[in-house]
Structure 1
Amino acid sequence: MTKTENPPSRPIDHLARCGAPDAAALLIGDRVTSFADLDAGVGRLALWLLDQAGGPGERVASWSAKTRLACLMPLAAARAGLIHVPVNPLLKAPQVAHILSDSGAKLLVTNAARADTLGADLPAECAVQELTIAEAMIDSGGAGLPPSIAQPDDLAAILYTSGSTGRPKGVMLSHANLWLGAESVASYLALTSDDRVLAVLPLSFDYGQNQLLSTWFAGAAVAPLDYLTPRDVAKAVLRHGATTLAGVPPLWVQLVESDWPGDAAASLKRLTNSGGALTPSLIDAMRTTFPNAAVYPMYGLTEAFRSTYLDPKLVADHPTSMGSAIPHAEILVCRTDGTVTADEEPGELVHCGPLVAQGYWRDAERTAERFRPAPRASAYGGMAVWSGDTVRRDANGLLTFVGRNDAMIKTAGNRVSPTEVEDVAVASGQIFEAVAFGVPDDRLGAAIVLIVRGKTDADRDALAAYLKANLPNFMQPQMVEWRDELPRNPNGKLDRVAIAADWKAAA
């Protein structure tokens, strides 16, 4: 079989030059950053980052709200030959300390309040620089670094995502991964330079970061937003004349239940969803609330960015479908022996092609589990991501999600590792052991249940306070139940299946 060549790509920092020099690229508050200013600011920030980090190839982390710095970091780090590690601003000190240590970050750019929470957990080799100093470098004047000449396979970023067991793992993304992902999304969404994209998702997520990259690929403007209420989103759509909004199911539930000024709802032309499936009733509500907007259901995984999308023209007749492959992705449905399934036969979704990441950072064992040679039927060959998700393909090539094979909890658009929740609970000193699992929830997608076996003198309020202090909001259990004993399997390990089944039977 003749293999398909990967499409050409460019260094990711070249996105700062995709728009007309005087066109708006970034909208933050009342400040408008043109593409010319974006390119110059990226160059100056890159020069400063390179000096702070000590040389090319080092990892530099950013941990902040959606500041101008947070938006420029993916391009500036890449221009300097550094590797960007964006940290979710919702995470708390234990998770952040793990990411900094695991990545070997030489520099963390954040504000003083966040840095102080790390205390002694800050790795000794990681320097901290104040966010305001980095922001000042963007406007410092003078020449910065020129556009990079990075090769397509050069590492540009490490994005941390929760695994089914253990702590978050870093997914290694190349310049080609990011560039072609931006090109793909801009293509199938048909973004143009006239569009205004409201970016409400965290920039530490591949889906959230792509809000920036695909917008700039199209030469359009992006307006980052940290919101507290759905009303904040509606006001920002009206203020910026937003045409495009990306979200996850819990956010769409909030937005369709909110009061929208007519002009705001009418300005939106496209709504994109990932991080969980839309229900037919929610799709109907979105179409009613935003009558001029096309709805794009999508499926993705950080290890391959995005896999499928459903053409808006097909949503009405196929509301539960994942759609088909996005540009630059090859999606196969395979049996356990690697052969391709027949139509309507369930199989594992396997993602092939140039959007496949380079594996997990310094974790050969877990890389070998998820990144394996592509099936013989692949037109691309090389390495593929074996998703662990079971899907079906119909006669028209449309995919439908059947089930997730691992133990991940998908809640409020986030993938949460049960083990990570359990480890924090045990670290409280109030319990001996814990089991976390997800149960269906209309608003969250899945709610987290935590079953614990407490110590004799356990303080239940102290456990609750410890979880609140050491887990981000989206990882907080909605229910905590205390037990005297927990069932075990023949190997002496906690019987997670039995524990979850017992709870569901009693609920």
Structure 2
Amino acid sequence: MSTVPETGTLALPPLDGLGQLLPRLSRRWPDRTALVTDERTLSFADLDRESSRVARALQDRSIHPGDRVALFSQNRWEWIVSYHAVLKAGAVVNPLNVMLTGEEVAYILADAGTKVLLASGERLDAVGDELRAVPSLEQVVSFDDCGHQVEQFSDLLAVDDDPGFTPFPVDPGSLACIAYTSGTTGRPKGAMQSQRSLVLNCAYAATMHGRTSDDVVITALPAPHVYGNVVINATFMVGGKVVLRKRFDAEDTLQCIVEHRATLLEGVPAMYAMLLASPALEDADLSSLTRSTVGGQTIAETVIDAWESRSGVPLIELWGMTELSGLGTTHAIHAPNVRGSIGVALPGVQVKVADTQDVTVECAPGEPGELLVRGPIVTMGYFNNTEATAETITPDGWLRTGDIATHDGQGHFFVVDRLKDMIITGGYNVYPAEIERVLIGHESVALVAVGREPDPVKGEVAHAYVVLAPGQQPDADALIAHCRQHMAAYKVPRAVHFVDTLPTTSSGKLIRRHLRSSATANA
């Protein structure tokens, strides 16, 4: 009689939606550890059982297929269980960024027509008063015991097991998730992600990065963010273990790598910069790692060099966005890694660089233009916003990403910066990320961000905001001189501000529009 091997790559029949994933894993590896948090460790059978209970509880509370259910908390096992429960019920997930204000949460819930909110007590304390203004919201469930008059998550878990329960059958092209963008230029927009786009992104990420059931993945990336979501579910998809941290801390991450013998670390550039600056790195045993990934923002090659030298494993760059349900490009683990490149297009996905004024004109190798993507992972559009959809997706299906990039003619792409972050100084285009990559190479710099400031002569100029490395002293003249050695004069920042911290999103991305206020607060 043949037996199923305990380790290796898991081959699953095609999934119509992620709601079908846990039942299959539970049948294959019921006792294998799937998720580790500070509060609880769950096997695949545990995750399947708990999420089915919550799915049935939602159905009992008149949640029907297509209804929107929001999740609002820091990383925790209840969030993961709830995510899969919503999909099992055939409902639509509405993940909320934990940094949102009450006003922003109320707007998103109302715009999406959300019926149920599952949230941590801490988040309810922060935004609870605003929820009364959401006409569609019928029920609020708290993950914690709290003073609010809401139902407890433990009540949903108290539903008796039903061995005959099966996830609601979904069409791969149907709506699975409405993930709202940050709203940097106005109200947040709800990117509609299909069942197919979620499944494909996780499957392609698992394939490109060589995930197997032997993998132990450390992640503090926020679960509501597409990068964090793909990291978690791509690992589950192959039967691997996810060690989920509530938030990133360099020392904690290093301890987790050692304690859990982690094989894969995933994060954004700021996380790796903080790891390299941590005194705990010197004695940390990183020998269990086999590779690591970085995305969310451009990363300096000096940071890549330093991390690879210390860890002894490749740092695989990737690029993606909410409108793609996760990744759009990355490197395959066994293919040559072109340093500084975000990689190649995912299977079945088209990527090109086009003229910013006429996207029908493709740019030559090395020529900057806007990065465009077309394929089954592209958003279905923005919920309740046909105008924004038409502005972002061309009639022939190309998604305008808003990123400036180049290509090498060999299939590799290189992100220069966000189009909206570009600084026009004296008629020249200056990309903040280029200045950041130079400054992070200086020994005194631990973290850096570059923003624009108005200038009466040049229109706009660049200002740098620097967090010093441990033991270093502020020396703006030395940093400006370093920039002059490595870039044209018009790119050199006009001023350097030394700060204690940089403003970031919950996923660790720099928020350049908040740099000036951050510097004032640090003063």
C-alpha change, 1:408 and 1:151, in structure 2 (3 Å) is farther
Structure 1: which 5+ runs fail to align? 1-6, 375-382, 410-436, 452-470, 483-507
Secondary structure of residue in 2 paired with 1:148: coil
Specify the alignment match of 2:394 in structure 1: 372
Q: Distance in 2 between matches of 1:444 and 1:128?
A: 39
Greater shift after overlay, 274-283 or 13-22? Answer: 13-22
Q: Distance in 1 between matches of 2:450 and 2:96?
A: 23
Selected match of 1:268 from 289, 292, 305:
289
Question: Is 1:220 equivalent to 2:240 in the alignment?
Answer: yes
Question: Is 1:194 equivalent to 2:214 in the alignment?
Answer: yes
How far is the alpha carbon of 1:404 from its aligned partner?
2.5
How far is the alpha carbon of 1:387 from its aligned partner?
1.6
Specify the alignment match of 1:98 in structure 2: 107
Specify the alignment match of 2:419 in structure 1: 405
Selected match of 1:86 from 84, 89, 95:
95
Is the 8 Å Cα contact of residues 227 and 233 (structure 1) preserved in structure 2?
no
Question: Is 1:286 equivalent to 2:307 in the alignment?
Answer: yes
How far is the alpha carbon of 1:140 from its aligned partner?
4.6
For 1:75, the aligned partner's letter is H
Selected match of 1:159 from 160, 179, 187:
179
Is the 8 Å Cα contact of residues 61 and 105 (structure 1) preserved in structure 2?
yes
Specify the alignment match of 2:140 in structure 1: 128
Selected match of 1:13 from 19, 32, 55:
19
Specify the alignment match of 1:28 in structure 2: 37
Question: Is 1:138 equivalent to 2:157 in the alignment?
Answer: yes
Is the 8 Å Cα contact of residues 349 and 388 (structure 1) preserved in structure 2?
yes
How far is the alpha carbon of 1:181 from its aligned partner?
0.6
Secondary structure of residue in 1 paired with 2:74: coil
For 1:35, the aligned partner's letter is F
Q: Distance in 2 between matches of 1:183 and 1:49?
A: 28
How far is the alpha carbon of 1:364 from its aligned partner?
0.6
Is the 8 Å Cα contact of residues 188 and 327 (structure 1) preserved in structure 2?
no
Is the 8 Å Cα contact of residues 182 and 210 (structure 1) preserved in structure 2?
yes
Q: Distance in 2 between matches of 1:450 and 1:99?
A: 31
C-alpha change, 1:136 and 1:33, in structure 2 (3 Å) is farther
Question: Is 1:176 equivalent to 2:196 in the alignment?
Answer: yes
Is the 8 Å Cα contact of residues 449 and 480 (structure 1) preserved in structure 2?
no
Is the 8 Å Cα contact of residues 96 and 105 (structure 2) preserved in structure 1?
yes
Greater shift after overlay, 359-368 or 258-267? Answer: 258-267
Q: Distance in 1 between matches of 2:158 and 2:200?
A: 30
Greater shift after overlay, 442-451 or 394-403? Answer: 442-451
1:43-62 equivalent positions in 2, closer than 5 A: 43-52=52-61, 54-62=63-71
How far is the alpha carbon of 1:113 from its aligned partner?
3.7
Greater shift after overlay, 392-401 or 168-177? Answer: 392-401
Selected match of 1:38 from 43, 47, 59:
47
Q: How many residues get paired?
A: 421
Selected match of 1:232 from 249, 252, 274:
252
How far is the alpha carbon of 1:62 from its aligned partner?
1.2
Q: Give the aligned CA root-mean-square deviation in angstroms.
A: 3.1
Structure 2: which 5+ runs fail to align? 1-12, 145-151, 424-431, 441-445, 455-504
Secondary structure of residue in 1 paired with 2:224: coil
For 1:290, the aligned partner's letter is S
Is the 8 Å Cα contact of residues 60 and 85 (structure 1) preserved in structure 2?
yes
Is the 8 Å Cα contact of residues 71 and 83 (structure 2) preserved in structure 1?
no
For 1:286, the aligned partner's letter is W
Is the 8 Å Cα contact of residues 77 and 84 (structure 1) preserved in structure 2?
yes
Is the 8 Å Cα contact of residues 248 and 271 (structure 2) preserved in structure 1?
no
Q: Distance in 2 between matches of 1:100 and 1:29?
A: 30
How far is the alpha carbon of 1:209 from its aligned partner?
0.8
How far is the alpha carbon of 1:30 from its aligned partner?
6.6
Q: 1:317-351: per-residue Cα shift (whole Å, max 9, x none)?
A: x4222221122322123342514444334333221
C-alpha change, 1:66 and 1:142, in structure 2 (3 Å) is same
For 1:271, the aligned partner's letter is S
Greater shift after overlay, 260-269 or 224-233? Answer: 260-269
Greater shift after overlay, 297-306 or 111-120? Answer: 111-120
Is the 8 Å Cα contact of residues 197 and 244 (structure 1) preserved in structure 2?
yes
For 1:204, the aligned partner's letter is P
Where relative contact order (Cα < 8 A, 6+ residues apart) is larger, the structure is 1
Q: Distance in 2 between matches of 1:227 and 1:284?
A: 25
1:321-340 equivalent positions in 2, closer than 5 A: 321-335=341-355, 336-340=358-362
Specify the alignment match of 1:479 in structure 2: 516
How far is the alpha carbon of 1:298 from its aligned partner?
0.9
Q: Distance in 1 between matches of 2:219 and 2:62?
A: 29
Specify the alignment match of 2:483 in structure 1: none
Q: Distance in 1 between matches of 2:35 and 2:218?
A: 10
How far is the alpha carbon of 1:284 from its aligned partner?
0.9
For 1:105, the aligned partner's letter is T
Selected match of 1:253 from 273, 283, 286:
273
Q: Distance in 2 between matches of 1:260 and 1:112?
A: 34
C-alpha change, 1:232 and 1:53, in structure 2 (3 Å) is farther
Is the 8 Å Cα contact of residues 52 and 107 (structure 1) preserved in structure 2?
no
Q: Distance in 2 between matches of 1:315 and 1:290?
A: 19
Q: Distance in 2 between matches of 1:479 and 1:193?
A: 46
For 1:210, the aligned partner's letter is V
Q: 1:196-218: per-residue Cα shift (whole Å, max 9, x none)?
A: 11121011110011111101111
Secondary structure of residue in 2 paired with 1:239: helix
Q: Distance in 2 between matches of 1:177 and 1:445?
A: 34
Is the 8 Å Cα contact of residues 373 and 398 (structure 2) preserved in structure 1?
yes
Q: Distance in 2 between matches of 1:269 and 1:46?
A: 36
Is the 8 Å Cα contact of residues 196 and 221 (structure 1) preserved in structure 2?
yes
Greater shift after overlay, 347-356 or 196-205? Answer: 347-356
C-alpha change, 1:60 and 1:224, in structure 2 (3 Å) is same
Q: Distance in 1 between matches of 2:323 and 2:247?
A: 28
Secondary structure of residue in 1 paired with 2:342: strand
How far is the alpha carbon of 1:312 from its aligned partner?
5.7
Q: Distance in 1 between matches of 2:360 and 2:107?
A: 35
Is the 8 Å Cα contact of residues 209 and 333 (structure 2) preserved in structure 1?
no
How far is the alpha carbon of 1:261 from its aligned partner?
7.0
C-alpha change, 1:161 and 1:213, in structure 2 (3 Å) is same
Q: Distance in 1 between matches of 2:268 and 2:422?
A: 17
Please, what TM-score do these two structures have when normalized by structure 1? Answer: 0.75
Q: 1:31-70: per-residue Cα shift (whole Å, max 9, x none)?
A: 3322122222221111112333532211111111222110
